[in-house]
A and B are shown apart, each in its own frame.
Chain A
Amino acid sequence: MTLTLPQQSKPPSLQPTGWLRYLSFSVDHKVIGLQYLVCGFAFYLIGGALAGAIRTELTSPVADFMPRDVYNQVLTLHGTVMIFLWIVPVVNGAFGNYLIPFYVGARDMAFPRLNAVAFWLIPPAGLLLITSYFITGAAQSGWTAYPPLSLTTPATGQIIWILSVLLLGGSSIFGGINFIATILKLRRPGLKLMQLPMYCWAMLGTSILVVLSTPVLAGTLILLSFDIVAHTGFFNPGMGGNVVVYQHLFWFYSHPAVYIMVLPAFGLVSEILPIHCRKPLFGYTTMVYSIMAIVVLGLVVWAHHMFTSGTPPWMRLFFTIATAFIAVPTGIKFFNWIATLWGGKISLNSAILFSCGFIVNFVLGGITGVALAQVPFDVHVHDTYFVVAHFHYIVYGGSVFVIFASVYHWFPKVTGRMLDENLGRFHFLLTFIGFNLCFAPQHWLGLNGMPRRVAEYDPQFAFVNQISSVGALLMALSTLPFLWNVIASARSGEIAGDNPWRALTPEWLTTSPPPVENWKGEPPLVTHPYGYGIPADQIDLKDASGSDLWSNGR
């Protein structure tokens, strides 16, 4: 039988080319990944400016920089922007979209159009959230929107906040569905699950959490909006409602949300470390199992946020123990990273500096996390700056450090040019010192009883707060060398070549920047993504098209 294909001229592409495609409804996963990254970074700058306003206010014990209700709005916007518009979209959407199709040997995500929809939900949601400040006043009840506070603060801002978070949650769910389908269904034939780069496992675990927990938040916020708009009483004690149920439902999402922010960072670090210390990732199998253990445990620890909400003793016991258990898989990952570095030929470049900064900060944040899981301690420091310090060590010292490490690592892949290493090291130094100066003193503030989320505080805390604000200033300044570095290097940085790090993961086995549809020929079959330092005859170092992986190395 002869198959005759009709002679087709290539249909005119509906996708714009050049820089315009970054403003278009592009379905190319690499374009969408960069859209996420740049959009997220813009919101990071906004969220950072809000943080700057908070730290400026807190340099003095009285509310002299802005009125108290404005402080509440700024605080709410800062938390919401940083979580829902910066970290979650960037560690998941940006790097996930850019890397996952490469890692599974696919030419795009499983559902490219859904992917574009997921991204384009974010800018309107973010604009909605931020413009609400100028039009009606933003929400004032913090990123947790606990009732009855969220029922008594001005309703318009709160409803806009809910709408915005619902849009972002929808975006997150669509993204999660796409990642699960891509990782499980779009793998190149011959590629086994246990041969995937670790970031795939991290994204699979994260996406499972997204799909299971985000809808619960959506439902909860819909009930909350009913309370505000239709005057039902779900969470209104005056009408027989129950505020603690809101907290349970909220944290059922928002505790996994911590893992949604940090598991992808674990994955990214696991990609970066082996390449820059020329050693295989230590303990691949234990890494995979610990990710999945964190996913399972992460779903059953939410009430450790609620030890002061009248939780019964059995519940306190269960959630304390479950939370302590999470330290085990997390510790396994930590020791695996250390073991990966151990005895490696480490190049102390910006990517690995930020990765090591992540390891240090994350261990500190993890230790305070285990401490906070203990009821007697938690009751003492609940709702104080100790908690603020703890979660900034996780989400900034953890996730944001990894985002920067990833930018330094994958910038040559995306642009074909190297970032300036000296500026990068300077950026790291400023960020690391600024971050620790800003947040380490807050442990002390919290232990001594300074409550969070208020514009005014006891004057005895003024000096330590000023130290913290100096750290915040350094963090703000550290953005400048980074921005300059990225803009200047994208235009006139050193040409990188296709594989400047001599990496073995599949995204480097193509040109930099990669062509549309990722590879000119067949996608490579990479069965040993971390085969560094292993004799070449023990692993197949050639990709499927037969080209030598090391030919582009320097």
Chain B
Amino acid sequence: MTSLSPQDQAVEIQEHHEESHPDHRMFGLATFLVADAMTFAGFFAAYLTFKAVNPLLPGAVYELELPLPTLNTILLLVSSATFHRAGVNLRRSDMQRCRRWLLLTAVLGLAFLVSQMVEYFTLPFGLTDNLYASTFYALTGFHGLHVTLGALMILIVWWQCRTPEGRVTADNHFPLEAAELYWHFVDGIWVVLFVILYLI
């Protein structure tokens, strides 16, 4: 151990206190996700209220098919599992496998987005057709924005852990763990969204 006097240690801490901070970034991200969840909660509340008190105007069409969104749900749930595998491998310092799982997660996320676009183009209603349709697109679109950002994050993390000198290494987990928490959050929101929009 070093033989610094308490005063010297205090000076050390003061001069290098950037390093002495505990890392609260995950806590900050979790707080942000609470805020993000409240945005969705507002949208869900609006949708459910519209459904409860605002009948569709005559002639309006609002019908959803189940198969494609069910596939989407499976894609996202599997991608959560693959991301988890990437994190496990990172903590084992197996960067090779970590990268592979990350890439698979990103591919699943992009597949979700493609599938969502296919659904958009095959639905019998557009954004401004009626109230439910508008709310449907607002909700799924806002969620799709989250998936897009998440997929970008995954690709960035994947790029950053390509070499031992990259930002994401066996010693620096934060970018990957942050993206992982965010991705699980986006998946969780999708499950709620799936139940509210498609099942009830």
Interface flag for B2 (CB, 8 Å): yes
Interface flag for B174 (CB, 8 Å): no
- Residue of chain B at shortest CB distance from A173: B35
Q: Are A214 and B49 also in contact (CB < 8 A) when A181-B27, A230-B128, A233-B128 are?
A: no
What residues on A are CB-neighbors of B130 within 8 Å?
Answer: 233, 239-240
Interface flag for B46 (CB, 8 Å): yes
Give the contact stretch, choosing among A194-202, A242-250, A484-492. Answer: A242-250
Q: Are A110 and B28 in contact (CB under 8 A)?
A: yes
A406 to chain B, nearest CB (A): 26
Interface size class of A (residues with CB under 8 A): 35 or more
- Residues 218-256 of A, flagged 1 when their CB comes within 8 A of B and 0 if not, give 111011001000111110000111100100110010000
Interface flag for B39 (CB, 8 Å): yes
Q: Are B24 and A185 in contact (CB under 8 A)?
A: yes
Q: Are B46 and A223 in contact (CB under 8 A)?
A: yes
Residues in A lying within 8 Å of B, measured CB to CB: 1-3, 5, 10, 107, 110-111, 114, 173, 176-178, 180-181, 184-186, 211-216, 218-220, 222-223, 226, 230-234, 239-242, 245, 248-249, 252, 517, 521-522
In angstroms, Cα B57 to Cα A177, docked, is: 42
Interface flag for B198 (CB, 8 Å): no
- Residues 45-64 of B, flagged 1 when their CB comes within 8 A of A and 0 if not, give 11001100110110010000
Q: List 15 A-B contacts (CB under 8 A).
A: A2-B1, A110-B24, A173-B32, A181-B24, A181-B28, A211-B35, A212-B35, A232-B128, A234-B50, A234-B134, A234-B135, A240-B60, A240-B130, A242-B50, A242-B131
In angstroms, Cα B42 to Cα A180, docked, is: 22
Q: Are A177 and B32 also in contact (CB < 8 A) when A110-B24, A220-B42 are?
A: yes
Q: Are B24 and A186 in contact (CB under 8 A)?
A: yes
A319 to chain B, nearest CB (A): 16
Q: Are B35 and A215 in contact (CB under 8 A)?
A: yes
What residues on A are CB-neighbors of B60 within 8 Å?
Answer: 240
Instruction: Indicate which residue in B10, B14, B28, B42 contacts A252 across the interface (CB closer than 8 Å).
Output: B42
A390 to chain B, nearest CB (A): 27
Instruction: Indicate which residue in A177, A181, A233 contacts B35 across the interface (CB closer than 8 Å).
Output: A177
Q: Are A219 and B127 in contact (CB under 8 A)?
A: no
Interface size class of B (residues with CB under 8 A): 35 or more
What residues on B are CB-neighbors of A222 within 8 Å?
Answer: 138, 142
Q: Are A232 and B36 also in contact (CB < 8 A) when A177-B28, A241-B54, A521-B10 are?
A: no
Residues in B lying within 8 Å of A, measured CB to CB: 1-2, 10, 12, 14-15, 17, 22, 24-25, 27-28, 31-32, 34-36, 38-43, 45-46, 49-50, 53-54, 56-57, 60, 127-128, 130-131, 134-135, 138, 142
Q: Are B38 and A211 in contact (CB under 8 A)?
A: yes
Lowest 3 CB-CB distances: which A-B pairs, in order? Answer: A216-B42, A215-B39, A232-B134
A381 to chain B, nearest CB (A): 28
Q: Are B31 and A211 in contact (CB under 8 A)?
A: yes
Q: Are A2 and B17 in contact (CB under 8 A)?
A: no
In angstroms, Cα B135 to Cα A215, docked, is: 17
What residues on B are CB-neighbors of A220 within 8 Å?
Answer: 42, 46
Q: Are A232 and B127 in contact (CB under 8 A)?
A: yes
Instruction: Indicate which residue in A185, A215, A245, A249 contacts B27 across the interface (CB closer than 8 Å).
Output: A185
Instruction: Indicate which residue in A177, A219, A521 contacts B39 across the interface (CB closer than 8 Å).
Output: A219
Q: Are B42 and A219 in contact (CB under 8 A)?
A: yes
What residues on B are CB-neighbors of A521 within 8 Å?
Answer: 10
What residues on B are CB-neighbors of A249 within 8 Å?
Answer: 42, 45-46
In angstroms, Cα B31 to Cα A212, docked, is: 10
In angstroms, Cα B17 to Cα A521, docked, is: 12
In angstroms, Cα B141 to Cα A223, docked, is: 12
What residues on A are CB-neighbors of B10 within 8 Å?
Answer: 521-522
Q: Are A111 and B46 also in contact (CB < 8 A) when A240-B130, A522-B10 are?
A: no
What residues on B are CB-neighbors of A213 within 8 Å?
Answer: 38
